[in-house]
Structure 1
Amino acid sequence: MNAALRQSLSRRPCGGLNVQVAGEPCVLRCSGAMWLPARRVLIAADLHLEKGSAFAARGQMLPPYDSRATLDRLAGEIAELDPAVVVLLGDSFHDTRALARMAEDDRRRLDVLAEGRTWLWLEGNHDRDALNRSKAQDVGLPGMVIGDLSLGDLRLTHEPEPRTDQDARFGEVAGHLHPAARVAAYGSGVWRPCFVTDGSRIVLPAFGAFTGGLNVRDPVVAGLFAAPPMAAALGRDRVHALDWKVLR
C-alpha cells in the first residue's frame, strides 16, 4: 500500500472507509457500494439482478430471490444516504431476458428507489442488450442508459482498461471483475468481496446477492496496478483495509 493512500485512510462511524481516489474523497461502504459525499453520488457495480431465476430456468437449484435481496441492500443505502445520483456500473441485469423474468413488485420497486434522484445505468457486457431493448420497447426502466461517465477527475465505466506504461488510467472507477480477497484467519482462509485500489483507480466488488468473486491476486486484477494496491474487504460491520502482503 503506498504512503499517500495509507495517509488518506480513516474510519467512518458506519464502518465504512474514507479514501481518496484521484484526489476525490470517497467512502467505501460495508454494502460494497462507493459513496462520493461531496457530490452525493452513490455507485454500485454488478447487481446481476435475476441471476437466480436464470439458474432456476436451467434446472439448477439456486433460490430465485436474489433480486429482492439485492434491492433490499440498495434500498438500505439509499434510505441512509439519500443520494442525488445513483450510478450502476453495468451488469445490473444478469442476461438479456432478466427484465422479463423479474417479479412485478421488484420492477416497481426500482421506480420507487429512483424517484426524486438521477438514476444512471451504465452498460455492461451482460446487460447491454437488455438495457437497449428496454429503451427500444419502452419497458419503462427509470433513469437513463449511458456509456462511461465523468465526474471531475473520476471516470466511471464498467470494465477496467488494461494498464499501460503510457496510461495509468488515472481516476478510473470500474466493476466487472468481482474482486475478492483471501486472508488467513482463525486457522483457515477467509474469503470476502473487496474493493481494490492504489489511490489512482479503483475496482468495486459485485453488489449482487448471488455474485462470486475473483481473487485480487489473479493477474487479471493485480495486473491493473503498477505497484501492489490495497484490498478493502467487506466485513459484517466494517470495511477492512488489507495490505497486499497478507493476501493469499
Structure 2
Amino acid sequence: MSEVAEAQGHAFTLSGATLVARGTGALYWPAQSLLCVSDLHLGKSERLARRGGSALPPYETQDTLQRLEEEISALSPKVVICLGDSFDDAAAADALDEPALLWLQRLQAGRKWVWIEGNHDPGPVGLGGTHLAELTESPLTFRHIAEAGGSGEISGHYHPKAAIARTGGRARPCFLIDAARVIMPAFGTYTGGLRSQHAALSPLMEPRAIAVLTGPVARAIPMPR
C-alpha cells in the first residue's frame, strides 16, 4: 500500500478489497490505483445566485478542484471516479468558466475518468470521461445512492457527518463503513450534510458500523446513532 495513502487515512477491507478512507474525504483503492470522490457539487454558488438564493462567495469550484488536484498529485491514480452530484445541477455544468474547464481537462489527462450519475445532475456529458449510471469493478460497485441489500457498495448522496460526542466537537464530514458498504462524505466545498443519527442513514448501516471523521487525521469511531 502507498505510504502516503496509509499515513493520511484509515485502511479497511470491504468484500476483500483493501481501501483507504482519507482525511480529505476521498477514497483510495491502492490495488487498482483508483481514487473516488463524491458529491463535488461544483457550481453551487452559481446555482444559488441564478435562482435568487443566499449569496455564497463564488470560489467553491476553484477550492474543490484545488483539493482534488492535491489528491491526484499525491496518489497519481490511474482511475478517478466522481460518484454523482458532481455539479449542483445540469446548468451549473454548462456555466463552468474556461479556466475551470481547462483545469478539469488537465486533471483527466492520462487517466481513466468516470462520471457517475447523481440526482442533481445526469453526468456532465460534455466534459470528457466516461458517463455511467453505476460502475462495477469486482468486487465493488460504485453508485450514487445506496441500495437496500447492497454488498461491496460504494455510494455517496447523503453527505454524512459525525462528531465525537464526549468532546462536544463540531460535526465533521465522515465515511460510514460496515461489512457491506461505504457511504462517502461530500468532497465539495459548501456542502451540508446529515448527521449519522438521521433516520435516512441508521437503517442502511449495520450495528457495528463505524464513522471515519475527515480532517488532518482520519479518525475512526463507532457510528453515532
TM-score normalised by length of structure 1:
0.84
- SS of residue matched to 2:187: coil
Q: Which runs of 5+ in 2 are unaligned?
A: none
1:67 aligned partner = 61
- Output the amino acid matched with 1:98: A
- SS of residue matched to 2:204: coil
User: Which whole-Å CA distance do the structure 2 matches of 1:76 and 1:199 have between them?
Assistant: 30
Identity %: 38
Q: Which runs of 5+ in 1 are unaligned?
A: 1-10
User: Which whole-Å CA distance do the structure 1 matches of 2:5 and 2:55 have between them?
Assistant: 39
CA shift in 2, pair 1:99/1:12, >3 Å = closer
CA contact (8 A) 2:5 2:75 kept: no
Asked if 1:120 is matched to 2:133, the reply is no
Q: 1:180 aligns with which of 161, 179, 187?
A: 161
Larger radius of gyration between Structure 1 and Structure 2: 1
Aligned length: 221
User: Which whole-Å CA distance do the structure 2 matches of 1:203 and 1:125 have between them?
Assistant: 15
- Output the amino acid matched with 2:26: A
- SS of residue matched to 1:119: strand
- SS of residue matched to 2:171: strand
CA contact (8 A) 2:5 2:28 kept: no
Moved more, 219-228 or 170-179: 219-228
Asked if 1:242 is matched to 2:221, the reply is yes
2:191 aligned partner = 211
User: Which whole-Å CA distance do the structure 1 matches of 2:180 and 2:128 have between them?
Assistant: 32
User: Which whole-Å CA distance do the structure 2 matches of 1:13 and 1:32 have between them?
Assistant: 14
Q: CA RMSD in A?
A: 1.7
User: Which whole-Å CA distance do the structure 2 matches of 1:243 and 1:59 have between them?
Assistant: 37
CA contact (8 A) 1:196 1:230 kept: yes
Give 4+ residue runs of structure 1 displaced > 4 Å after superposition. Answer: none
2:179 aligned partner = 199
Displacement of 1:185:
5.2
User: Which whole-Å CA distance do the structure 2 matches of 1:36 and 1:12 have between them?
Assistant: 9
Task: Give deviations 1:190-240, integer Å, cap 9, x for gaps.
Answer: 2100000113211000000110110111121111023241000012x1100
User: Which whole-Å CA distance do the structure 2 matches of 1:55 and 1:98 have between them?
Assistant: 10
User: Which whole-Å CA distance do the structure 2 matches of 1:53 and 1:12 have between them?
Assistant: 33
Asked if 1:147 is matched to 2:141, the reply is no
Task: Give deviations 1:136-162, integer Å, cap 9, x for gaps.
Answer: xxx3x1211111111111111000013
Moved more, 198-207 or 177-186: 177-186
TM-score normalised by length of structure 2:
0.93
Displacement of 1:13:
5.1
Displacement of 1:172:
0.6
2:35 aligned partner = 42
CA shift in 2, pair 1:202/1:59, >3 Å = closer
CA shift in 2, pair 1:227/1:185, >3 Å = closer
